Structure 1
Amino acid sequence: MHSIISNALAFKNNYLFWIDFPSMTVKDIIEIAIIAFLFYHVIVWMKNTRAWALLKGLLVVLIFILFAAMFQMSTILWLAGKVLNFAVIALLVIFAPELRRALETLGRKRFITSIFNSDFFKTNDERFTEKTMNDLVRACFDMGKVKTGALIVVEQNNKLTEYERTGITLDSVISYQLLVNIFEHNTPLHDGAIIVRENRIIAATCYLPLSENMQLSKELGTRHRAAVGISEVSDSLTIVVSEETGQVSIAHHGKIERDIDPEYLRSELKNINTNTTENLRTGLFQKQRRSEE
């Protein structure tokens, strides 16, 4: 380590002498590394909770305050100053459960393992395999034929950890037989939603938030409203099998598309099967919608 730092300093002195670098010691480098590590884990924690959406909302408010400061809007600045006096305390109260869970997780965390298991080092862009996709499509439409209700949440970029905790942990490889068996009538796991992460069913019997959108069709029951509700607070794709009609529907970004066919469901799953921003932006729901709101 000492030789690497010495070589870096020699390179700076020989070739980058014309740049005015601040003086740095080994202690400074260690400090920067520790701060970067902590900052990274805070961002990861925020992304896995509702704090991520709140952060984006706060950025909008800060931009608005900056705009007001540029144009000397004194009334808005006075109101912002009064609000900021108790904003930190309000945030602590709102996110008390998430902060408690974050501290509990921090106490159980294996830091070295988490560094090398970080998403930063993952090179596989696919979320799930072709077999997982085929099993999902086949199971949904076979359950629809016998009118077995199902609610399947396919996680994307927004982690669904807080909803995962409301159910029973499975962490099982997805298979057609397992999906059908979970949602079979009168089985212990059939009620509620399952959460799919990559090629695994993470949890079953999960509770999802119900949509309060008054424009949704009155024909939609609790299962469909839950599918729309989770799509309003995350970027997940939710598959719903109706227990009354046997129809298969999908919900995404607060919209529901009802009575789709197997080919359409497979194409939508393919569109979200990569981690690339371009596919997430252009893949889902860019075809002609058949939504019923």
Structure 2
Amino acid sequence: MSLDATIWAWKTRQKQKAGGALKPLKKLVLLSLADRAGETHECYPSIARLVDDTEMDRKTVLKIIDELIEDGFIIDTGKREGKTKQVKVYLLIGVKGRETVPTTVHFDTGNDDLNSTNNGTVPTTEQFQQFHERVPTIPLNSPNVGTRNLPKNLSEESKNKKTWLSLKKLGEEIRLATDQETYEQIKNATWFDRELRAFELYNAEKNLCDELMNYHFADWLINACGKYQAREQTKSKNTTTRVLVPQGESNQLSDKQIHTFAQKLSQHPEFASQFAAAGESYDQLAARIAVKLSDPVQAKQWEPYLKQVGFKGSLQGAA
């Protein structure tokens, strides 16, 4: 805990922006960060810790952190801490006091006396007293200084405001589950943002960690890719010939049915005992099942289990 950081946080004057968070809430988050700052005025409390400290919801805390960065009170140092090395390390900007050690001190050498006892690296009494009044400076070669910190020069990962979403991690999960070609299709898809909004709404109340969010979103996108490809294939077939489907049958489950029955099958004792992996949670199993159900052939094979959990009708399977 840094007393200087806490005093500094109390003295800050927050900015009220149109559509932004209330000033008292912003100060409360800043105080929570300052309460965990060390001698270098760096801190890395987890989002869950800040939520517990402030009694705000996760989205509000994340929004306020973004505003504090924009207002110049904190910066993301780029370092990561914690057990998973994913917790961001923030630096409080402008803290000064007894614990502040200036990184650079410049003296006026115009009237230096070579024989003076004050010549060299030892400052005078007045200069020493000024040490505590200096605001910590950031070295000129720091990545947090200059035009390299402008939005247009940031990487795609840094531009991403949704802190749970890691494009690098997401790409790794997709390539592990499919192949490079499918990954390229998903990355360049026009429907990516639409599916992202749907996924966040679907998981809004689940309070999953960032790693699980990326894991499930990869499965969600793979499933969505199959869904959109099936639609394109159906459109292409309809332009050449009309395919008659027997009454009471359908080519594949709807998107809503896929996710509903995936959840039910993950809880089905007989089904789960056969298909669940060791140590796999219900949510992880449901995500894998949803990907499989998007394939008409696989869905047809599992039709007996689907009927046991409430599916009505009959699946046609492969065309």
Which of the two has greater strand per residue? 1
Q: Which has the higher contact order (CA 8 A, sep 6+)?
A: 1
TM > 0.5 fold call? no
**Pairwise TM-score range, normalised by the shorter structure:** under 0.3
Structure with larger Rg: 2
Question: What TM-score do you get using the length of structure 1 for normalisation?
Answer: 0.26
